[in-house]
Structure 1
Amino acid sequence: MRNDGLSGSPGATDPEALPRSRGIPRPPARRNGHGQPPPDHVDEGKLLEVLTALRHGNFAPRLPVKWTGVGGKVADTVNEIMESNQRLVRELERLARLVGKEGKISHRVPMGDFTGLWAASIESVNTLVGDLVHPTSEMARVIGAVAKGDLTQTMALDLDGRSLQGEFLRTAKTVNRMVEQLGAFSSEVTRVVREVGTEGKLGGQAKVEGVAGTWRDLTESVNFMAGNLTGQVRNIAEVTTAV
């Protein structure tokens, strides 16, 4: 009797392993005694469902853990990918809340057991946060010093050996210019007060280069006051001399 490969003999061919011929449908998948696929069978429909969810950014679905053999390894691998994505999303949301909402600027995404491009992505996010936070910290330091009367502090124009660029550089220069103008105004006012009030050098005027707005108004007010004081002193001197 001819063996056509479809009988139950030891040399029979598995129907699932048969190539799909044109026009001939694939034989149905093997079933166990209860009409269910064997445990090591990969449920393609379920796998497609989970992968579709992954593609759409839904990391909640999981493959059954009861699969064994190759199917079990596929399930474990896909589930680990979903879990890694889910953990990373949670950490990024936590980072955004702590740094952006609560002002805890020292917080970073923990590396944990992430490796490869996962780790590289986390490192990039942490570096970005650090670069964004640095100008804020520097600004707070300089303004805090100004509030205490220390006009010697300025913002650094580089970070870790790299020159600041764009808005970071513009912000640093603006803050430094503000401190410079405060220092120049303070020095000039102190000089005029000392010369006129202490040393008796009448006619002293404050000269602050490049000032505008309120700075210019303050400088002009100081000069007006010094001019009035000078005029009064000279008038008194003239009257005294005449007497």
Structure 2
Amino acid sequence: MESGTAARRGGGSGTRARGGRSRGGTVQVDAAALERLLSALVSMRDGNLRRRLTVSGDGVMAEIAAVFNEVADRQMHVTGELSRVRRVVGREGKLSERLEAGVTEGAWAAAIEAANALVDDLARPVSEVSRVLTAVAEGDLEQRMDLRSEGSDGTVRPLRGEFLKVARTVNHLVDQLSVFASEVTRVAVEVGTEGILGGQAHVRGVSGSWKDLTDSVNTMANQLTAQVRDIALVTTAVA
């Protein structure tokens, strides 16, 4: 049927060129070439990006085969880059890695840029968490996560969703650490250095381990105060 159609389009002469053109400018393609093209397209549709067409001659089918191969190459490049960056960033933790554009343009380049922007958006909060927690580990309780994020296009916008939740949780954690450290230091100075007995740490809104730590500090301060007062009473009585 394909062969007959091609013959009719060629003027009914019955002469057919493989991937060539008739004298009238009408493309003539044999059924076998179309079958190979269809088979290759089905393979690509089903995810087999390694299938290639043989480019032979200089007719239209040769051009189609070359373009098909280029499309497969570009799709394979994008897929390969996605897999590579997923492994390097997601498993190896190298947050600075990005997809390489390669020989792409138009929608292909836009897909690469979108994937890189996604990695940027996901990696930036992780880097911020790491920065703040590293500062805390080094004794710096002044650092906080920024509740805004700068996109790859330079646009600054507020964090949303889980990103905002994580940022607020980290900042609240550092706030509690800062208040607790400040109160413990204050009580230690008042009781141990200035001799002001009865000092207590006051940390609002704490619960769980934070409350246990605060209660432990206050209990220790109370016991120290009681012991000092007992010693003072005995000393006074002796005197």
Counterpart residue type for residue 164 of structure 2: L
Work out whether residues 7 and 14 of structure 2, in 8 Å CA contact, stay in contact via their aligned partners in 1.
Answer: no
Matched residue, 2:166:
171
Matched residue, 1:239:
234
Once the two structures are TM-superposed, the CA of residue 30 in structure 1 deviates from its matched residue by 4.1
Matched residue, 2:97:
107
Matched residue, 1:86:
76
Matched residue, 2:18:
38
Structure 1 Cα separation of the partners of residues 236 and 68 of structure 2: 102
Work out whether residues 65 and 76 of structure 1, in 8 Å CA contact, stay in contact via their aligned partners in 2.
Answer: yes
Structure 1 Cα separation of the partners of residues 5 and 139 of structure 2: 88
Matched residue, 1:97:
87
Matched residue, 1:135:
125
Match of 1:117 among 104, 107, 126: 107
Gaps of 5+ in 1: 1-13, 20-26, 32-36
The 4+ residue runs of structure 1 with deviation greater than 6 A are: none
**Percent identity between the aligned chains?**
50
Does the residue aligned with 1:216 lie in a helix, a strand or coil? Answer: helix
Work out whether residues 74 and 103 of structure 2, in 8 Å CA contact, stay in contact via their aligned partners in 1.
Answer: no
Structure showing greater radius of gyration is 1
Matched residue, 1:215:
210
Matched residue, 1:155:
145
RMSD (Å) for aligned C-alpha atoms: 2.2
1:159-187 superposed Cα distances (whole Å, 9 cap, x missing partner): 11111111111111111111111111100
Once the two structures are TM-superposed, the CA of residue 84 in structure 1 deviates from its matched residue by 0.8
Match of 2:200 among 205, 212, 227: 205
Does the residue aligned with 2:206 lie in a helix, a strand or coil? Answer: coil
CA gap 1:72/1:232 in 2 versus in 1, 3 angstroms: same
| TM-score, structure 1 as length reference | 0.84
Structure 1 Cα separation of the partners of residues 46 and 186 of structure 2: 69
**Structure 1 stretch 122-131 or stretch 65-74: which is displaced more?**
65-74
Structure 1 Cα separation of the partners of residues 8 and 117 of structure 2: 54
Does the residue aligned with 1:159 lie in a helix, a strand or coil? Answer: strand
Does the residue aligned with 1:98 lie in a helix, a strand or coil? Answer: helix
Matched residue, 2:25:
none
CA gap 1:39/1:209 in 2 versus in 1, 3 angstroms: same
1:186-240 superposed Cα distances (whole Å, 9 cap, x missing partner): 0000000000011011110000111111111111011011011111111222222
| TM-score, structure 2 as length reference | 0.86
Paired residue total: 220
Once the two structures are TM-superposed, the CA of residue 79 in structure 1 deviates from its matched residue by 1.1
Structure 2 Cα separation of the partners of residues 169 and 48 of structure 1: 49
